[in-house]
């Protein structure tokens, strides 16, 4: 377990237990007013008893790198180019990831940094949209 993860778990538990004590103070744990179902519904609004929790509880995807964003934005173009190259090479299939990697390597540092900035902006916009829709 890395140090940042452990620190985040600690902070989360500290807040959760503090809220628990505040909300359920004076109530007997295990009673009708302080059982697992009541507690889970209080802190996790989408809790359904017996339903397995998805691994990605926060519903947040990994942030895109400049390289990944570059590939996504150029996917159609790259697929078209790969198809044309494959037909010229007796139908030998060219792997998308290899093609994308080669194209990325052809970019100078300035162009790569532009893609990194675009990816950061995209990630910020995506995070803002997630927060609005939650």
Q: What is the per-residue pLDDT across 99-133, written as a single tens digit (0 to 9) for each?
A: 999 999 999 999 999 999 999 999 888 877 755 44
What is the pLDDT at residue 13?
86
Q: Structure pTM?
A: 0.52
Our count of domains for the chain comes to 2
Domain assignment present for residue 52? The answer is no
Q: What is the pLDDT of residues 64-85, one digit of tens each?
A: 999 999 999 999 999 999 988 8
Average pLDDT score, the chain: 84
What is the pLDDT at residue 134?
45
Give the mean model confidence (pLDDT) for residues 47-67: 71
Q: Which residue has the tokens 């300035």?
A: 110
In percent, how much of the chain has pLDDT > 70? 87
Give the mean model confidence (pLDDT) for residues 22-37: 88
Whether residue 71 is found in the same domain as residue 126: yes
Whether residue 32 is found in the same domain as residue 81: no
Whether residue 79 is found in the same domain as residue 36: no
Pick from 79, 44, 74, 64: nearest CA to 117: 64
CB neighbour class for 103 (10 Å; exposed up to 12, middle 13-18, buried from 19): middle
Whether residue 85 is found in the same domain as residue 31: no
Whether residue 70 is found in the same domain as residue 129: yes
| Spatial distance between the Cα atoms of 36 and 29, rounded to a whole number of angstroms | 9
For 86, the domain range is 66-133
Q: What is the pLDDT of residues 92-104, one digit of tens each?
A: 788 999 999 999 9
Domain assignment present for residue 48? The answer is no
Check whether 45 has a pLDDT greater than 80.
Answer: no
Domain assignment present for residue 54? The answer is no
Whether residue 73 is found in the same domain as residue 36: no
């Amino acid at each position: 377990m890395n140090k940042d993860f452990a620190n985040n778990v600690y902070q989360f538990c500290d807040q959760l237990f503090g809220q628990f004590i505040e909300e359920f103070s004076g109530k007997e744990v295990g009673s009708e007013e302080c059982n697992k179902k009541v507690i889970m519904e209080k802190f996790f609004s989408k809790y359904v008893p017996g339903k397995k929790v998805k691994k990605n509880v926060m519903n947040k995807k990994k942030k895109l790198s400049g390289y990944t964003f570059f590939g996504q934005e150029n996917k159609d173009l790259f697929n078209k180019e790969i198809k044309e190259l494959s037909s010229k090479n007796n139908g030998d299939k060219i792997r998308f990831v290899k093609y994308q990697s080669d194209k990325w390597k052809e970019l100078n540092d300035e162009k790569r940094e532009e893609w990194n900035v675009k990816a950061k902006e995209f990630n910020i916009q995506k995070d803002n949209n997630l927060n609005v829709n939650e």
